[in-house]
Chains A and B, each alone.
Chain A
Amino acid sequence: EVQLVESGGVVVQPGGSLRLSCAASGFTFHDYNMHWVRQAPGRGPEWVSLISWDGYTTYYSDSVKGRFIISRDNSKKSLYLQMNSLRTEDSALYSCAKVRIPYSSSSSTNLDYWGQGTRVTVSS
């Protein structure tokens, strides 16, 4: 059974930093592109970042580019999101998601499994 479990969400002050983790199990993690997606209360999903299966290719939304860094450790079956210079508008539930098939193109948005998310609150 595929499982994605996020952790690391806390309350942090504006300008602060945070590192989110996503522990994967139930599939061959190192074969799949992975995404971070966030959702503010009452809002739809907002894509944050993606990383290729081998970790060599990354993309970011304009809203987080230059502040967030996505990474992965395939030996630990884990995905990470380093969040710096946090703003109040970054407050949301952050979820990791996997794409449907291995070795997908970066343009694939077929996210077939999502974690339950970890909540980040940026507030003074």
Chain B
Amino acid sequence: QSVLTQPPSVSAAPGQRVTISCSGMRSNIGNNFVSWHQQVPGTAPKLLIYDNTKRPSGIPDRFSASKSGTSATLDITGLQTGDEADYYCGTWDSSLNAVVFGGGTKVTVL
């Protein structure tokens, strides 16, 4: 069982929006930056979001994220078939002194 809780799956039609939640505790999300990674099966994870809300260069602005208290959210707008992948939130846990990841959310484009 993962320290960070994500829904197992979300889905929407092309062009629509999906929202992925990531729930944690004060010791992790509450006091540390959150990152989001996208992983297409068979490939290495790709950094989508860092420091709660920032996008690395090359990541389209269709991907956005926020954090409030002990929860974080990733939004994908204008959904495309190429967005089908698993998405993971991650952060540092100050009590565990460890990196923790969510269990992952599979995004399906209908």
Contacts and interface: CB of A to CB of B under 8 A. Distances in A.
A59 B104 CA distance: 23
Contact of A111 (B32, B35, B98, B104): B35
Contact of A44 (B33, B97, B103): B103
Interface residues of A, number: 24
A110 B1 CA distance: 22
A107 B101 contact: no
A61 B96 CA distance: 8
A45 interface: yes
9 pairs of A and B residues whose beta carbons are closest in the complex: A107-B92, A47-B99, A110-B50, A114-B44, A44-B104, A109-B90, A112-B47, A109-B35, A109-B99
Interface of A: 35, 37, 44-47, 50, 59-62, 95, 100, 106-112, 114-117
Interface of B: 2, 32-35, 37, 39, 44-45, 47, 50-51, 56, 86, 88, 90-92, 94, 96-104
